[in-house]
A and B are shown apart, each in its own frame.
Chain A
Amino acid sequence: MQSLLNGVASGCIYGLIALGFVLIYKATEMVNFAQGDLMMLGAFVAFAAIDALGLNYWLAFLVAVLFMAVFGYLLDAAILRQVIGQPQFAIVMLTIGLGFTFRSAASMLWGTETRAFDTPFTSGVSEVGGLVVNHVSLSIIAGTAILCAALFAFFRYTRVGVAMQAASQNQLAAYYMGIPVKRIFSLIWAISAAVAAVAGVLLAPVALIDVTMGLLGLKAFAAAVLGGFGSIPGAVIGGIVIGVIEQFSGRYMESDLKDVAAYVVILAVLFLRPQGLFGNIGRKRV
C-alpha cells in the first residue's frame, strides 16, 4: 500500500509532464522534447523567487507559473511557429536543441549544484488508517487532480478552450471559422509551459532542483506514449501506471531495475498495442 501511494505520487509528476507533451501534440502535432527542461526552468524560477526576492511559497508558485506561461507563449511565437509544416523530425530535433540550450542557460544562471527550498509540506507527515502519508505526496496528488479538473473545465466551458479543440481537430477549418490559429497555438504552449512549471514546483521538495532534472522528461515521454499520445486522461493514467510500476519493481526486484522497468513496459506495450493504451490510429486514406 505504501509503495502504491509513493508510486502514484511520483506517477502524478510524470503524468503532469506528459500532460504538457500531449497538450502540445494534440493541438499542433509537435512533439516537445524540451518539456522536461521547461519543468526544470519552472522550478528554478520558483527557487529564484523565494531565494532572491524573498517571496513566500504560494506567491513564488504563482510567479513561476505566470513566468513560464509567458515564456512558453514567446517561445512559440518567436521560434516554433517558423517550423510549422516541416517534417516532424525537424521539430523533434529543434526541441531537443532548445532543451540543451535551456539546460546550459540554467547552469550558467544558477550553477550546477543542487538547490532546495522550503515548502509548507516539506516535513509534514500524517497517519491515515495505519498508512504513513507524507504531505509532499499528498500535495502532488492533490495538485495534479486540481490541475486536471481545471484543464477539463477550461477545454469544456470556455470560448478559448473550445477554440483550441477546434484548432486541434482541423487547422484549416478552424482558420476559416475565424479562430486565430497561430495565437491559439501560442496559448497552448503557454498552458503547457505553465503545467510544466506546476510539475516542477510540486516536484521540488521530493527531488532537489538541479539542471539535470529535465531528464525526467524522457520518462514522462514514455508515460505519454503509454497512454496513447494525444489522449489527455491517457497521459495522466500512463504517468501513474509508470510511477507505480517503478515503485513495485524497485521493491520486489533488484532495486536498480527500477529505472529500466518503465522502459521494458513501454517496449512491451508498444509492440503489442502500437497506439498506446488509450490512443487510436485510423488507417490512412490515399
Chain B
Amino acid sequence: MRFFFKTDYNQDINLFRDKVDRFWYALLMLTLLAAPLALEEFYLGEISYVFVLSIIGIGLMLLTGFTGQVSLGHAAFLGIGAYTHAVLLSHGAPFVLSMTAATLLSAAVGVAIGFPALRLTGIYLAIATLAFAFIIEHVLIKWESVTGGFKGFPVERPEYFGISITDDIPFYYLSLFCLVLAVLAALNLLRSPTGRAFIAIRDSEIAAQSMGVNLARYKTAAFAVSAGFTGFGGALFAHKIGYLAPDAFNILLSIQLLLMVVVGGLGSIHGAIFGAMFVGALPQAIAIGRDYLPETIARQPGLEPGLFGLILVFFILFEPYGIYGRWLKVKLYFSLFPLYKKATFKKQKTYTKSERNR
C-alpha cells in the first residue's frame, strides 16, 4: 500500500496527486494519441462518440454531481448547442467561432433557466427543467426557417486544409482535444473557490449560506457552466449524428444523460467518463449479445430501453456510487490485499429526512 503524506497546502488542490498518478495519466494520454495507428475506423468512431458523451457528462456532472441540482432537461441544452453550431456552420461561420457561439448561447440559456430555478428545489426544479426541455423541443420543431422543422437538416462537413474534420481520424483527435480541454476546465473550476462553493451547496444549502456562499449567484453559475459544457459537447454531437432533427433531443435523451452520471458515479469527473463509456458501449454490447439470445427475446424492440432501466435499478440498489465507486473498492481491495474489510464502505443506516420544511 502506498502512503500519501501531505507536506504542502498546494497538494490539496494539485491536478495530479503525485508522480505515480502523473505517470499513469501521461501513459493513458499517449495510448489515446497512438490509438488511431492500431484501431480500425469503426472503433475510432465509437471511441470518439464516447469522448463526446464524456464532455456532455462532465457538464451534467457539474450540475447534478457537484452542485446537487437535478435537471431532467439537459437534452435541451444539448439541442441548443447542436443546432447553433450546425446553423452557424451552414451560414459559413468558421468552426471555432460556431463552437464558441454554441457554448455561449447554451450558457446564456442556462442562466435564463437558472435564475428562476433558484427558488425551486427538488421535484419542483425537476419539473421546471422538464417543462423547459419540452418547450425547447417545440421551438426546434416550429422555428422552421432556421431549424428545418420536423424534417431537420444535415450537418455541414467543413473542410480545412483539405482535411474533412468529420472523417473518423480527424474527428477522433478533435473530440479528444475537446475532452481534454473540458476535463481541465472542469478540474480547474472545481479546485477554485467557485467549485468549492458548488460542493458546499450540494452538501448543505444552509451550511453553505451561513459560510457566506451566495446561493443565487452560485446556483445560476452552476446552471450556466453546466449548460455551456453541454452545448460545447452538443456541437460535436451534431457532427457525430450527422443529421439534426428535433426528436433526437427528447426527454429520453435527458434521462439517458442522467443515467450516464448515475451509473458512472455521482460526484466525480471519473464518473462522468466511466458513465459515457458505459452508455456508449451498451448498445454495441446488446447488439453482440443478441446473437446469443433465443430468437423470441432477441427480436424484441423494447430490449434496449428495458435493459437500461434494469441496469439503472441495479446500480441504485446495489452500487449507489456507480462504476467509479466500484473501481475505488477494487483498488482498495488490492492495495490492502489480505486485510480488506467489507465494512470500509458500508452504508450508514439512514432515515428519511423530510424535505417538506425547507
Using CB atoms and an 8 Å cutoff, list the residues of chain A in contact with chain B. 25, 28-29, 31, 79, 82-86, 88-90, 92-94, 96-108, 112, 171-172, 211, 215, 218, 221-222, 225, 229-230, 256, 259-260, 263-264, 266-267, 270-271, 274-276, 281-286
Contact = CB atoms under 8 A, between A and B. Distances in A.
Contact of A267 (B135, B312, B313): B135
B26 interface: no
Residue with the highest number of chain A CB atoms closer than 10 Å, among B68, B351, B352: B352
Nearest to B205: A284
Nearest to A29: B352
Interface in B119-157: 119-120, 122-124, 126-128, 130-132, 134-135, 138, 141-142
Contacts of B305: 100, 103-104
A85 B351 CA distance: 4
A96 B308 CA distance: 10
Residue in A89, A102, A107, A230 whose Cβ sees the most chain B Cβ within 10 Å: A89
Interface of B: 64, 68, 70, 116, 119-120, 122-124, 126-128, 130-132, 134-135, 138, 141-142, 206, 210, 251, 255, 258-259, 262, 266, 297, 300-303, 305-313, 316-317, 320, 349-358
B143 to A, nearest CB: 13
A17 to B, nearest CB: 14
A270 B116 contact: yes
B345 to A, nearest CB: 15
Nearest to A226: B127
Majority DSSP secondary structure for residues of B touching A:
helix
Main secondary structure of the interface of A (DSSP, over half): helix
A247 to B, nearest CB: 18
Contacts of B116: 267, 270-271
Contacts of A92: 70, 123, 126
Given A88-B355, A98-B313, 8 more contacts: A28-B352, A29-B355, A85-B352, A90-B316, A94-B316, A98-B309, A283-B357, A283-B358
A86 B300 contact: no
Given A85-B352, A218-B130, A101 B124 contact: no
B131 A100 contact: no
A117 to B, nearest CB: 22
Given A270-B124, A274-B120, A100 B306 contact: yes
A221 B206 CA distance: 28
A104 B306 contact: yes
Contacts of B206: 284, 286
B309 A284 contact: no
Contact of B306 (A93, A101, A256): A101
Contacts of A98: 309, 313
A283 B356 CA distance: 9
Nearest to B305: A100
A224 B353 CA distance: 22
B258 A270 contact: no
